[in-house]
């Protein structure tokens, strides 16, 4: 179908920011990293994403500062283009079409107008052969440039970008492949190869993993799989080359970098320790330990003042002068395995899944930012392999997002599983989940299904858990007995259900909460949660039922289930099979906002997607080979703004978007062409608007104000009691990031005064507040820096103490507000000086 | 391969002694190695690292430093004496007292005129080298603290001396100290301990390099006396330094057993600005590296673990050649075991005593590969302590087991043994002829009636042994004019011939009946390591340090046809690549076509009736052959049959009909 080309699988939100080495801009203010199909520009100070460079249509595989202009950046992508950007303004300057997928990009100041890219070798059809190609970028004014001048420099290189590096003033190039180091001299157009034995006699693996070249000396550092670092010298002679060996790492060295002056060598690997070696005095080492996860890349700013390390848990750490971690940019943590389902928090619309060990992470896909981590297990995680520790395996939200149920388990031995069921209530004051009830050993065996009654609000919520011990249990929030002092209600078991001793699988509530379907191996039982009566049994052998889904809205009379071979649809009114089709469905899920259902099938080693309505015979949309492997985790995330697409095949994407996790733990989604174009247009629009005076703080503030405007409109949390309003000054004081505030002692007296004085004109405050906001804006323009946009929807933003004071304290008088602002203005002057310098 | 009865002799408790000092003479390519027991060994690097000469030690002599001046070898030790060695008679030539307390180091200038000795009392003593001796010339300015190490500037006008906590630079013409360079002490607890500058080197560009007990490798500017760079190499001591001939590389030996190489490299290509960079680290020793030599192509190191390691520098030699292989020389290249075939006795030679053992006996015959039950266990009959201070240099046991002789550099002792079933008596033969004073090699004839002793000037003294007396019959001399010592003596079984090989690569055959030189084998460029005369065909088989094998017919006075064919076809490359010399050749009495030979790690039977192996065939084919059926086996088999199923053979001899003795440090497996 022609329309289907409109819908593409893209990476949007939650992509790896550590896929390639990040780049620090020459003034150390920005950090650029490849993230999915875009290049993200982060502020190194505030950790905020200030710019997103969109335009590539495939994975971005390399980011590189243009050597001749430090405000421009090249990016290369698997879509076969190299793009040149102005990263401060986010403008695409030029697109060079290469035509082959590009795996990495290199450039050197002494090779003007030339970039070096790694592509698959065309000579032989081996998929693992790569070559380094010099591309002469034609100098012309066109937006889209075809490059024709390609010349191969080195055959047989590694696709790993860490394995190629330019040496002193671009005179030579070092490339590591396998256990061989190759140095290519541009002047002589000759290369020397130095090979090591694959395995030395002590069993060390000599395979090279990364290369770095000293900026002023003829010295090449190579990292090896056995943790050794070799410093090669005298390699301009074929035979008289020599090397020395440094050894600290016990695992493979993942990344090596020299500082710009060449006085230090940085190395990192599995140990999550950044090691700094003094050049020529290698016995002197400095360590920066406890960086959290294995280091995958190291980048150094051009002035050497900042380092940054990428970590395997999708995190970038920015380090100041090798001693202090100054900021951490965290992406979506996917790890090796996601054990919980993908979920969407109904309140914050954040994607929820398990991230750090023992935690649930709340990740905002719209803003592409980690909101917070909720510690579920509340035990220290010990970083050691082979230890059996509690892990979050299941989680479920109720319909309004006010309750969260989590299951954690620890498998001491195969027989005895330790399971805890925890119920968390959303606390409006702290804007976070608070543990309400812990049920130790809710079942005898591990829990196989967990679901909340989605129709909350009207009744007290019901939680159903099914387990391999042959029972399913319903849990209900019960009021505490009158004679106890307990302040709140807690959860307790309401009903235990079983069916002929069969083992229950999954469970599902209908959209209105009036029916509960529980699968018992081959049989689907339908229960009434009001009376716990068994209403009907449905069965369609052979094979156990894997997924259960009730239809929504107009299709609510249908119940869909999947077995190993079949997708079945039962009509609940007639209790009969409506239709069934033979396909191996690995995941079935329903869009909460429409009748649509999505089924991921596993066929021929890749996953196919079908989107259909249970009442209609033809699928709305189908795409073969969405990704290789089996898709077992996916979610429909509601959109903030509805799309207005008229294309029939893409209408299912209007209300929500479908995210899914590939077996490689990439979060992918579907996007229409129209959507992409509007995104591109909006980013360009923004650039043109702000083209007058672009400062990062201005950008941040702009973002903050926009998101602030959106929050009250879109949030379903409007039903919940609003936070007590307080004066603008106090709110700003609390929301302004600490690093732009003056010293606490400076603010303290004014703040305390505000608490002491009882204010009468609280109601009048709202009128002039708007005015103030406007005047503030002007001031911000003058001062050209202002507070960052701390997200308005961030639940843990307001600490509990602050919230209480806000509740108790009335606003400040206008004079006090002015005083505060004056103080802040004083502060801005020195801050501005620093930023300008 | 034939059937043998194998004795597993695991009771030879030979312990090599630690290497203390080394000196390399690049003109003659001889390496002198001094061991902790005072013995000095000379290795010929031009001839496959063959251990040519051994000068036995002496109680109380600890060699601390060795130095070649031309072809002369000097040593100094903590006994305060300087010694020159007589390399022809394998004994110290003379010793003179330095009168400065223990001597820590000696160093000759490059002109070969002066020898400087660093003494405990803080003086550097200069000796003038005369033709026949050395003479004290003068003292340089006396310093406080001992002089541990010395290095001459190549011009001979300056000298660097490593001391406690400092390095001094002397002007050798005026004798005054010009610079004093303080060496920093180690950090922490060792701050209060004096740092010892164990070794210094003085390069022609006036760079001084030092290695000290704080583990530092330091580079100094010798003309200004300032520290240029300090490399911490180890936590413990840097014990020794050695500079390559072209001064582009320095190696440092540490007490951790590592050897660290530093190279003088331009930091950017094509520029003159060079620096010393630490490059490779070699770890071939388990204990302290006490002695180091940087030859043009290799790093030679030795230390407390008694091994001499030759580690080729791969950037200086062709890859994958015999030269590029690592060599470890652990065992002496000569026989320390003699065997009385008829009596079943073994004599083990140690530096300070001899041990006489009776081999075990067993009755019955087992299947091949089976371990026979032992009827009588091997027993130690005699432990004979040597007299005097000098160490034993050679020993011999007569084939009948009734005579025992040993020699030190100063005297020869002969004993008569009487063995009955349960008693042993030993009686010294008191009157020996005066010709038997200083010998290098002893050997009994097969009927035990003659004792052959190699004496000075390559002569052989023949002594007749009798129950009543022993007298010198005559002295055999040859006319080649070589003064080198004879290191192999080999009489033929019928008592007619005596072959004598010396370290000038000559083999002379004497006719004992006519008492004169019968013939000389044509000189070959490599030193013979084992010589034997075939009992039946009267041909002389010699194996050389470069692993070549020759067969020379004594009757025709020419190489035999088999030997010519072997030379035409060439030996198998794997055979030539072996790095230990063959130390003994003998013959199978039941099959005259079999030549039996062994080195420290392998035992080989050469069947002259079978075709020689071609270069492309497998040399070590015994296990493969066993799996073949008979016709193919005979087609595939070749002359070399090699067994490596044991460790470290030091001696092996054929006795009577079948029994056969292997002497091993540690046998892993019996075979038959």
The CATH number covering residue B339 comes to: 2.130.10.10
- pLDDT at residue A179 greater than cutoff 50: yes
Query: Tens of pLDDT along B335-393?
Result: 888 888 777 888 888 888 888 888 877 776 666 666 777 777 888 888 888 888 888 88
For residues B309 and B370, state if they share a domain. Answer: no
For residues B507 and B641, state if they share a domain. Answer: yes
Q: Tally A–B CB contacts below 8 A.
A: 46
Is ipTM > 0.85 here?
no
Residue A484's pLDDT band (boundaries 50, 70, 90)?
low
For residues B341 and B434, state if they share a domain. Answer: yes
- From B287, B306, B330, give the residue that closes a domain: B330
Looking at the DSSP assignment, which residues form a beta bridge with residue B8?
Answer: B662
Contact yes or no for A242 and B266 at CB 8 A:
no
Contact yes or no for A218 and B266 at CB 8 A:
yes
For residues B296 and B256, state if they share a domain. Answer: yes
Inside any domain, residue B132: no
For the segment B144-168, the average pLDDT, to the nearest whole number, is 91
- pLDDT at residue A826 greater than cutoff 60: no
- From B330, B353, B378, give the residue that closes a domain: B330
For the segment B153-169, the average pLDDT, to the nearest whole number, is 91
- pLDDT at residue B661 greater than cutoff 90: no
Inside any domain, residue B621: yes
Minimum Cα–Cα distance from B319: chain A residue:
A239
* CA–CA min distance A205, chain B (Å): 18
SS3 state of residue B18: coil
Inside any domain, residue B370: yes
B283 in A contact zone (CB under 8 Å): no
- pLDDT at residue B429 greater than cutoff 90: no
pLDDT of residue A256: 93
Place of tokens 């081999």: B359
For the segment A472-480, the average pLDDT, to the nearest whole number, is 82
Domain housing B360? 334-477
User: Which residues are CB-contacts of B530 (< 8 A; sequence separation ≥ 6)?
Assistant: B488, B542, B543, B581, B582, B583, B584, B585, B597
Contact yes or no for B281 and A244 at CB 8 A:
yes
- pLDDT at residue B83 greater than cutoff 80: yes
Contact yes or no for A216 and B268 at CB 8 A:
yes
Query: Tens of pLDDT along B461-495?
Result: 888 888 777 788 888 888 877 888 888 888 888 88
Contact yes or no for A283 and B232 at CB 8 A:
yes
Inside any domain, residue B160: no
For B660, the token pair is 């056969």
Inside any domain, residue B190: no
* CA–CA min distance B254, chain A (Å): 16
pLDDT of residue B301: 92
Query: Rounded to whole angstroms, how far apart are CA atoms B640 and B617?
Result: 11
Q: What is the CATH number of the domain that holds B623?
A: 2.40.128.630
For the segment B192-214, the average pLDDT, to the nearest whole number, is 91
Residue A701's pLDDT band (boundaries 50, 70, 90)?
low
B232 in A contact zone (CB under 8 Å): yes
Inside any domain, residue B583: yes
Give the pairing of strands B412-419 and B424-428: antiparallel
For the segment A44-66, the average pLDDT, to the nearest whole number, is 87
Q: Is the dihedral of CA A280, A284, A288, A289 positive or negative?
A: positive
- From B330, B351, B366, give the residue that closes a domain: B330
A800 vs A371, A545, A803, A805, A807, CA distance in Å? 17, 46, 5, 9, 11
B227 vs A278, B212, B320, CA distance in Å? 19, 14, 41
SS (H, E, C) A5-70: HHCEEECCCCCCCCCCCCEECCCCCEEEEEECCEEEEEECCCCCEEEEECCCCCCEEEEEECCCCC
Contact yes or no for B315 and A218 at CB 8 A:
no
pLDDT of residue A686: 46
On whether the CB atoms of residues B496 and B513 are closer than 8 A, the answer is yes
Nearest to A144 by CA among A80, A213, A218, A196: A80
For residues B291 and B343, state if they share a domain. Answer: no
For residues B499 and B638, state if they share a domain. Answer: yes
pLDDT of residue A623: 85
Minimum Cα–Cα distance from B277: chain A residue:
A280
Beta-carbon neighbour count of residue A67 at 10 Å? 17
For residues B473 and B499, state if they share a domain. Answer: no
Chain A partners within 8 Å of B269 (Cβ) = 218, 236
The whole-chain average pLDDT of chain B stands at 83
For the segment B518-524, the average pLDDT, to the nearest whole number, is 87
B328 in A contact zone (CB under 8 Å): no
Give chain B's domain count.
Answer: 3
- pLDDT at residue A75 greater than cutoff 90: yes
- pLDDT at residue B628 greater than cutoff 50: yes
pLDDT of residue A266: 93
Query: Tens of pLDDT along B234-252?
Result: 888 999 999 998 888 999 9
- pLDDT at residue A13 greater than cutoff 50: yes
Q: Which of B263, B266, B269 sits opposite A242 (nearest CB)?
A: B263
- pLDDT at residue A239 greater than cutoff 50: yes
For residues B577 and B605, state if they share a domain. Answer: yes
B141 vs A498, B76, B101, B171, B200, CA distance in Å? 105, 21, 16, 10, 19
Inside any domain, residue B59: no
B320 in A contact zone (CB under 8 Å): no
Q: Which of A217, A241, A243 sits opposite B267 (nearest CB)?
A: A217
For the segment A560-580, the average pLDDT, to the nearest whole number, is 86
pLDDT of residue A385: 63
pLDDT of residue A614: 85
Residue A73's pLDDT band (boundaries 50, 70, 90)?
very high
Minimum Cα–Cα distance from A247: chain B residue:
B281
Interface test with B, best of A193, A280, A282, A284 (most B CBs within 10 A): A280
For residues B525 and B646, state if they share a domain. Answer: yes
pLDDT of residue B147: 92
Residue A657's pLDDT band (boundaries 50, 70, 90)?
confident
For residues B503 and B604, state if they share a domain. Answer: yes
B280 in A contact zone (CB under 8 Å): yes
- pLDDT at residue A753 greater than cutoff 80: no
Comparison of pLDDT for A225 and A356, the residue scoring more: A225
Query: Rounded to whole angstroms, how far apart are CA atoms A33 and A21?
Result: 7
pLDDT above 70 as % of chain A? 79
Query: Rounded to whole angstroms, how far apart are CA atoms A736 and A741?
Result: 7
B422 in A contact zone (CB under 8 Å): no
Question: What pTM was estimated for this model as a whole?
Answer: 0.73
pLDDT of residue A23: 92
Inside any domain, residue B377: yes
For residues B311 and B340, state if they share a domain. Answer: no
Looking at the DSSP assignment, which residues form a beta bridge with residue B497?
Answer: B511
Minimum Cα–Cα distance from B316: chain A residue:
A240
pLDDT of residue A835: 59
For B65, the token pair is 């430093």
For residues B463 and B501, state if they share a domain. Answer: no
Residue A703's pLDDT band (boundaries 50, 70, 90)?
low
Interface test with A, best of B230, B267, B314 (most A CBs within 10 A): B267
Contact yes or no for B281 and A280 at CB 8 A:
no
Angle between helices A766-783 and A696-714 (to 10 degrees): 150
Query: Rounded to whole angstroms, how far apart are CA atoms B109 and B173?
Result: 13
Q: Which of B261, B265, B278 sits opposite A234 (nearest CB)?
A: B265
Contact yes or no for A281 and B277 at CB 8 A:
no
pLDDT above 90 as % of chain B? 21
What number of CA atoms fall less than 13 Å from residue A355's CA on the CB side?
23
Query: Rounded to whole angstroms, how far apart are CA atoms A699 and A686?
Result: 10
Residue A211's pLDDT band (boundaries 50, 70, 90)?
very high
Contact yes or no for B263 and A281 at CB 8 A:
no
- pLDDT at residue A399 greater than cutoff 90: no
Query: Tens of pLDDT along A533-542?
Result: 888 888 877 7
């Amino acid at each position: 179908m022609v329309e289907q080309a409109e819908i593409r699988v893209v990476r949007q939100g939650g992509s790896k920011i550590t896929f390639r080495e990040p780049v620090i801009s020459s003034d150390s203010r920005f950090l650029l990293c490849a993230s999915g199909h875009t290049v993200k520009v982060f502020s190194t100070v505030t950790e905020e994403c200030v710019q997103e460079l969109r335009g590539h249509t495939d994975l971005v595989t390399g980011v590189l500062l243009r050597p001749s202009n430090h405000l421009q950046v090249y990016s290369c992508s698997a879509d076969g283009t190299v793009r040149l950007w102005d990263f401060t303004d986010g403008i695409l300057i030029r697109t060079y079409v290469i035509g082959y997928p590009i795996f990495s990009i290199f450039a050197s100041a002494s090779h003007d107008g030339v970039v070096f890219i790694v592509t698959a070798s065309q000579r032989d059809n081996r998929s693992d052969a790569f070559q380094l190609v010099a591309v002469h970028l034609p100098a012309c004014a066109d937006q889209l440039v075809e490059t024709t001048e390609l010349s191969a420099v080195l055959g047989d290189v590694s696709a790993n970008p860490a394995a190629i590096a330019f040496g002193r003033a671009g005179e030579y190039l070092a490339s590591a492949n396998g256990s061989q180091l190759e140095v290519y001299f541009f002047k002589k157009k000759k290369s020397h190869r130095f090979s090591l034995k694959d395995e030395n006699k002590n069993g060390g693996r000599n395979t090279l993993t990364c290369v770095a070249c000293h900026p002023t000396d003829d010295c090449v550092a190579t990292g090896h799989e056995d943790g050794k670092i070799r410093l090669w010298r005298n390699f301009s002679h074929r035979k008289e080359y020599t090397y020395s060996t440094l050894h600290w790492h016990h695992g493979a060295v993942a990344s090596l970098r020299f500082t710009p002056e060449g006085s230090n060598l940085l190395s990192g690997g599995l140990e999550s320790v950044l090691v700094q070696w003094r050049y020529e005095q290698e016995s002197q080492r400095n360590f920066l330990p406890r960086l959290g996860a294995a280091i995958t890349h190291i980048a150094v700013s051009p002035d050497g003042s900042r380092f940054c390390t990428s970590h395997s848990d999708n995190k970038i750490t920015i380090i100041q002068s090798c001693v202090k971690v100054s900021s951490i940019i965290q992406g979506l943590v996917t790890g090796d395995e996601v054990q919980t389902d993908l979920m969407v928090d109904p309140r914050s619309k954040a994607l929820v899944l398990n991230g750090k060990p023992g935690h649930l992470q709340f990740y905002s896909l719209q803003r592409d930012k980690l909101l917070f981590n909720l510690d579920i297990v509340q035990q220290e995680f010990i970083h050691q392999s082979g230890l059996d520790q509690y892990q979050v395996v299941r989680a479920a939200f109720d319909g309004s997002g006010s309750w969260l149920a989590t299951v954690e388990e620890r498998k001491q031995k195969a027989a005895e599983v330790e399971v805890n069921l925890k119920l968390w209530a959303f606390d409006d004051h702290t804007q976070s989940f608070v543990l309400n009830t812990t049920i130790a050993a809710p079942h005898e065996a591990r829990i196989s299904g967990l679901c909340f009654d989605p129709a909350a609000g009207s009744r007290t919520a019901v939680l159903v858990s099914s387990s391999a011990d042959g029972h399913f249990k319903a849990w209900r929030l019960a009021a505490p007995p009158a004679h106890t002092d307990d302040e709140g209600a807690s959860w307790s078991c309401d009903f235990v259900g079983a069916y002929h001793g069969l083992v229950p699988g999954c469970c599902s509530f209908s959209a209105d909460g009036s029916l509960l379907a529980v699968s018992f191996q081959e049989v689907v039982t339908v229960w009434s949660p009001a009376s716990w009566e068994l209403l009907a049994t449905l069965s369609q052998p052979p094979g156990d039922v894997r997924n259960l889904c009730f239809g929504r809205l107009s299709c609510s009379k249908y119940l869909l289930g999947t077995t190993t071979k079949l997708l079945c649809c039962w009509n609940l009114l007639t209790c009969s099979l409506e239709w069934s089709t033979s396909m191996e469905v690995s995941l079935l899920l329903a869009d909460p906002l429409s009748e649509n259902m999505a089924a991921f099938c596993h066929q021929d080693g890749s996953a196919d997607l079908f989107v259909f309505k249970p009442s209609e015979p033809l699928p709305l949309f189908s795409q073969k080979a969405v990704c290789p492997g089996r898709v077992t985790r996916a979610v429909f995330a509601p959109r903030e703004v509805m799309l207005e697409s008229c294309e029939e095949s893409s209408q299912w994407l209007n209300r929500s978007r479908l995210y899914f996790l590939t077996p490689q733990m990439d979060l992918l989604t579907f996007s229409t062409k129209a959507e992409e174009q509007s995104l591109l247009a909006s980013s360009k629009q923004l650039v043109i608007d702000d083209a007058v005076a672009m400062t990062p703080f201005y950008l941040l503030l702009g973002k903050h104000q926009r998101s602030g405007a959106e929050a009250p409109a879109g949030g379903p949390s409007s039903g919940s009691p609003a936070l007590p309003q307080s004066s603008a000054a106090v709110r700003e004081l609390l929301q302004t990031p600490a690093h732009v505030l003056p010293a606490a002692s400076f603010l303290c007296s004014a703040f305390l005064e505000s608490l002491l004085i009882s204010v009468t004109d609280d109601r009048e405050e709202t009128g002039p507040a708007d005015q103030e906001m406007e005047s503030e804006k002007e001031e911000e323009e003058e001062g050209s820096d202002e507070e960052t946009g701390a997200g308005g929807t961030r639940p843990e933003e307001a600490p509990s103490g602050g919230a209480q004071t806000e509740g108790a304290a009335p606003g400040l008088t206008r004079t006090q507000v002015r005083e505060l602002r004056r103080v802040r203005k004083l502060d801005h002057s020195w801050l501005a000086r620093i930023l300008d310098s | 391969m034939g059937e043998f009865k194998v004795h597993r002799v695991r009771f030879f408790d030979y312990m090599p002694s630690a290497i203390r000092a080394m000196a390399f003479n690049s003109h003659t390519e001889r390496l002198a190695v001094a061991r902790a027991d005072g013995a000095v060994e000379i290795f010929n690097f031009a001839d496959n690292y063959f251990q040519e000469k051994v000068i036995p030690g002496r109680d109380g002599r600890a060699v601390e430093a060795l130095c070649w001046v031309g072809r002369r070898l000097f040593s100094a030790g903590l006994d305060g004496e300087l010694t020159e060695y007589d390399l022809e008679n394998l004994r110290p030539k003379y010793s003179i007292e330095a009168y400065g307390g223990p001597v820590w180091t000696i160093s000759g200038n490059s002109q070969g005129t002066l020898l400087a000795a660093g003494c405990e009392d803080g003086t550097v003593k200069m000796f003038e080298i005369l033709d026949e001796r050395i003479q004290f010339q003068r003292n340089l300015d006396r310093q406080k603290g001992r002089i541990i190490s010395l290095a001459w500037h190549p011009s001979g006008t300056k000298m660097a001396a490593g001391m406690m906590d400092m390095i001094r630079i002397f002007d050798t013409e005026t004798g005054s100290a010009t610079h004093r360079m303080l060496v920093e002490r180690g950090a922490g607890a060792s701050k209060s301990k004096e740092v010892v500058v164990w070794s210094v080197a003085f390069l022609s560009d006036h760079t001084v390099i030092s290695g000290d007990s704080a583990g530092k490798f330091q580079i100094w500017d010798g003309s200004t006396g300032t520290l240029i760079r300090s490399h911490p190499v180890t936590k413990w001591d840097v014990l020794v330094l050695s500079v390559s001939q072209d001064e582009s590389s320095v190696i440092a030996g540490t007490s951790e057993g590592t050897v660290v190489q530093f190279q003088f490299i331009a930091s950017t290509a094509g520029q003159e600005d060079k620096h010393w960079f630490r490059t490779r680290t070699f770890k071939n020793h388990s204990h302290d590296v006490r002695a180091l030599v940087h030859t043009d192509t290799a790093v030679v190191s030795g230390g407390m673990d008694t091994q001499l390691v030759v580690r080729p520098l791969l950037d200086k030699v062709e890859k994958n050649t015999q030269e590029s292989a690592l060599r470890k020389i652990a065992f002496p290249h000569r026989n320390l075991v003699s065997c009385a075939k008829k009596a079943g006795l073994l004599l083990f030679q140690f530096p300070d005593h001899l041990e006489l053992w009776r081999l075990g006996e067993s009755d019955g015959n087992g299947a091949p590969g089976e371990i026979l039950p032992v009827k009588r266990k091997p027993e130690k009959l005699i432990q004979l302590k040597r007299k005097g201070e000098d160490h034993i240099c050679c020993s011999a046991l007569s084939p009948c087991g009734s005579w025992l002789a040993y020699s030190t550099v100063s005297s020869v002792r002969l004993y008569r043994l009487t063995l009955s079933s349960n008693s042993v008596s030993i009686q010294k033969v008191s009157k020996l002829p005066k010709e038997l004073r200083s010998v290098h090699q002893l050997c009994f004839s097969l009927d035990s009636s003659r004792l052959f002793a190699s004496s000075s000037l390559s002569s052989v003294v023949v002594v007749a042994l009798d129950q009543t007396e022993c007298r010198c019959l005559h002295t055999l001399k040859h006319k080649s004019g070589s003064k080198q010592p004879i290191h192999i003596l080999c009489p033929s079984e019928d008592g007619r011939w005596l072959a004598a090989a010396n370290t000038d690569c000559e083999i002379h055959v004497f006719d004992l009946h006519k008492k004169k030189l019968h013939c000389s084998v044509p000189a070959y460029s490599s030193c013979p390591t084992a010589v034997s005369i075939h009992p039946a065909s009267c041909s002389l088989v010699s194996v050389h340090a470069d692993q070549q094998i020759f067969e020379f017919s004594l009757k025709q006075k020419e190489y035999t046809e088999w030997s010519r064919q072997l030379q035409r076809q060439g030996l198998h490359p794997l055979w030539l690549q072996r790095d230990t010399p063959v130390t003994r050749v003998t013959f199978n009495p039941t099959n005259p076509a079999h030549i039996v030979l062994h080195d420290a790690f392998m035992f080989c039977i050469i069947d002259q009736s079978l075709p020689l192996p071609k270069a492309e065939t497998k040399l070590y084919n015994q296990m493969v052959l066993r799996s073949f059926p008979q016709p193919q086996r005979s087609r595939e088999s070749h002359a070399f049959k090699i067994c490596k199923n044991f460790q470290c053979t030091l001696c092996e001899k054929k006795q009577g009909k079948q029994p056969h003795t292997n002497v091993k440090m540690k046998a892993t497996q019996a075979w038959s």
